[in-house]
Amino acid sequence: MARLTARAVLFDLDGTLADSAPGLADATNDMLQARGLPALSLAALRPAVGSGARGMVGTAFGLHPGQDGYDALRDEFLDRYVHRLLDKTRLFDGIQALLDRLEAAGLAWGIVTNKAHRFADPMARALGLVPRTPVLVAGDSTPHTKPHPAPLLAAALQLAIEPAHCVYVGDDVRDIQAGRAAGMATAAAAWGYLGHGGRPEDWAADAVLAHPNALLQSLELA
């Protein structure tokens, strides 16, 4: 087990703290069914969850940013997702105990997500993550999104903790890239969605975590 040292732990939201895939999948299938198209399984959509609207539209309709028709589908997806945001969304097993232990050990923690604030804030509040943590950096909180390090650096600044004393935990290769660019230790959440970036063992993270308790083991808190 790789050993990590930190004064603070920062987490991605979707696929790391929260299992939000069902709501995203339902919003996507609402769009398909409105067009008389067959619904897609959660298993088919789950790997694209980390890419948000871009991933859902790409998987369901084969359109990507810059292509004709993409913007309209993206906007429709976001409008539908507002009504599905909290449907079936929950914390992953073990997350509550993980956060309890971090707090008991005196470690600060926060959330850094590419999800826009209008979605991230109500989700984090419904799950009891905010205001439990004062730090929620959303996808539109800084001029850049991950894999740019700016959101992570903003979170460290809010915590008043140097980036070198932070660990960033995420389930997508972009999370690891952002953490490394910010000068933080990184850990891949292998219980998450993992996207299309290959195996987390190949992401050059400092640790690959099979389950939330593995983070406590890496921090020598379990």
- The amino acid that residue 145 corresponds to is T
My answer on whether omega of the bond before 131 falls inside 30° of 0, hence cis, is: yes
Domain boundaries, the chain: 8-19+89-218, 21-81
pLDDT at 25: 96
For residue 120, what pLDDT is reported? 97
**What pLDDT score does 197 carry?**
77
- Options 3.40.50.880, 3.10.20.600, 1.10.3720.10, 3.40.50.1000; CATH of 8-19+89-218: 3.40.50.1000
Identity of residue 112: V
> How much is the pLDDT for 89?
96
Determine contact, residues 160/140, Cβ cutoff 8 Å: no
Q: Point out the residues of the chain with pLDDT beneath 50.
A: none
In the chain, % helix, strand, coil (3-state, to 5) comes to 45, 15, 45
Q: Any idea of the CA torsion for 137, 115, 218, 130, to the nearest 10 degrees? A: 60
Give residue 38's pLDDT.
Answer: 97
Q: What is the pTM of this model?
A: 0.96
What is the pLDDT, as a whole number, of residue 216? 97
Place of tokens 């993270």: 205
Which residues are catalytically annotated?
12, 14
Q: Which two tokens stand for residue 94?
A: 């073990």
